[in-house]
Amino acid sequence: MPGPVFLEGERVELRVTEREDIDLLQRVRTDPELRTAMTFTEPQTREQVEEFYENTISTDNGDSNFVVCVDGEPVGEANLFRVEADHGEIAYWLDRDARGEGYATEAVSLLLDYAFDTRGLHRVVAKVVDFNDASRALLERLGFEEEGRFREHIFLRGEYRDVSFFGLLREGYSSGIW
């Protein structure tokens, strides 16, 4: 079971990522559909994921890592990381069975509320690989704007893919649209 509830929406809870979530993290990092969209290209053993947890998630580095839960069950993850001064980056994913229900929009909205209202950030950024239309649509729905594109930036699915960079300023975000 994921850690305690940190942020709560109407249908989604963001719970603190705990050591008990390592199996979930490893599963995602090996699932062909999810790992490719997140640009993980190499298999990761449990020991490697444990090392990632120890060196990244459980450290006091300013990152905030959450398991997305619906009815108490983990269905994904939402993270705020690379936080520096007044800006940070987000990343998120949902299991296949949880997509199309608005859970990702609600989870990312909660994460943005936290980034802007609690952490006091001025700017949040996100990256999307060119084939991830759902993620692009989610970001645009929440007010993000495409700010740039690295052409043929990463090799995925047998070819070089573009990566788009999105940004959202605090004044461009409408809190609680979910």
Q: How many domains does the chain have?
A: 1
> Would you say residue 43 lies in a domain?
yes
User: What is the residue-level pLDDT of the chain in tens, covering all 178 positions?
Assistant: 677 899 999 999 999 999 999 998 888 888 887 788 888 888 888 999 999 899 988 888 889 999 999 999 999 999 999 999 899 999 999 998 899 999 999 999 999 999 999 999 999 999 999 999 999 999 999 999 999 999 999 999 899 999 999 999 999 998 755 4
> Would you say residue 87 lies in a domain?
yes
State the residue range of the domain holding 33: 5-172
- What gap in Å lies between CA 73 and CA 75, rounded to an integer? 6
> Would you say residue 178 lies in a domain?
no
Look-up of token digits 């930036």:
153
> Would you say residue 177 lies in a domain?
no
> Would you say residue 73 lies in a domain?
yes
CATH code of the domain containing 21:
3.40.630.30
- What gap in Å lies between CA 123 and CA 156, rounded to an integer? 28
Look-up of token digits 């987000």:
90
> Would you say residue 92 lies in a domain?
yes
pTM: 0.91
In one-letter notation, the amino acid at residue 135 is: S
